[in-house]
Amino acid sequence: MRACIGKLYSRAVTARILHTVVIATTNRGKLEELRALLEGLPIEVRTLAEVGAGPDKLTIVEDGATFEENAIKKARAVAEATMALTIADDSGLEVDVLGGAPGVRSARFAGADATDEENLAKLLREAPAGSALAYVCAIAYVDGGEERLFEGRCTGTLAAEPRGDGGFGYDPAFLPDDLADDRTMAELAPEEKDAISHRGRAAHALLRWLAGERERERGSGRLASAD
């Protein structure tokens, strides 16, 4: 999927190079996945720390009721502070038997400073194996007055116990519906995970929109052909 996204973007947006894109997250796992998904594109990806907008400089309270609200809030705040095109992600896990929890509180399920291991342990205590799950990701794109939201979902079931060393968060106990085998998200190679994950799907939607924007600009005569 990474190669597909890069090829799509490079072909359709070559004449509209995005010199700098700030990824508005301090979560190392999310940052690494988004960097990988954007790899090979004609852009320079910058972190919050690299543009002087880290948590010691810019405080953003994620108090939205939905992933979309939190994502757009983060993207707007960072774009305003840095004057750069910004991509922000908010994502988490929804569990049917828990009424959609932990949802937007996925990173704080076991407490404000909970680790991934503590959050996962609480989930396994409160939800039985085989419970229906959904990973949800909202990616917000803010570039001046242009704002867009993109969503990706990946459904699955809860494993009886954690397995695998890859990924992060709830990945060791997430059995994706997209696979015919019994591997958890944490047992997948990065490329396999990107192809089916909530974040990969949201990123793909973002890149398809950018490609469409470029084609519309070309059709209107506002963008010279790069062919």
Question: What is the pTM assigned to this prediction?
Answer: 0.82
CA-closest candidate to residue 147, choices 78, 100, 204: 78
Each residue's pLDDT tens digit, 95-110: 999 999 999 999 999 9
Upper half-sphere CA count for residue 115 (Cβ side, 13 Å)? 3
| Tens of pLDDT, residues 135-164 | 999 999 999 889 999 999 999 999 999 999
- Give the pLDDT confidence score for residue 19 in this predicted structure: 62
**Catalytic residue ranges:** 90
2-220 CATH choice from 3.90.950.10, 3.40.50.10190, 3.30.565.10, 3.40.50.300: 3.90.950.10
140: nearest Cα among 22, 5, 11: 22
pLDDT (tens digit, 9 = 90+) per residue, 195-217?
A: 999 999 999 898 888 777 656 65
- Find tokens 């939607």 and name the residue: 205
